[in-house]
Amino acid sequence: THGSQVEEDAALSCVRRALDEGITTFDTADVYANTAAETVLGKALAGERREGLEIFTKVYWPTGPGAHNDHGLSRKHIMESIDASLRRLQTDHV
């Protein structure tokens, strides 16, 4: 997992290599490495032509203090999570 099991430099290099090999689909989730995986992926994809990429993320598990609305599939949690994911991924859509 980028941001925890794989050092950032190695993760950036891995994504660069994937792009060089023609891979354009990337899957992540806000809960991976407690949001760090999205941050690293956003950094790795910065400057890439967004129309040429497919970026997937997921929501459900808590990434905050674990209060009532910090998990699940309520509209509130989904909207807050997607806004945070978009910021971390440095993009305007997933």
pLDDT digits (tens, 9 = 90+) for 39-77: 999 999 999 999 999 999 999 998 877 777 788 999 999
Mean pLDDT estimate for the chain: 93
Token output for 84: 């945070």
**Most confidently predicted of 22-26, 32-36, 62-66:** 22-26
Rounded distance between C-alpha atoms, residue 47 and residue 31, angstroms: 24
Rounded distance between C-alpha atoms, residue 28 and residue 18, angstroms: 15
Secondary structure of residue 79 in the 3-state scheme: helix
Predicted confidence at residue 35, as pLDDT, reads 94
Secondary structure of residue 5 in the 3-state scheme: coil
Among residues 32, 33, 38, 59, the one annotated as catalytic is 32
Strand positions, DSSP E, the chain: 25-27, 54-56
Q: Is 60 tagged catalytic?
A: no
pLDDT above 70: percentage of residues in the chain: 100
Predicted confidence at residue 63, as pLDDT, reads 84
Predicted confidence at residue 4, as pLDDT, reads 87
Does residue 90 register a pLDDT over 90?
Answer: yes
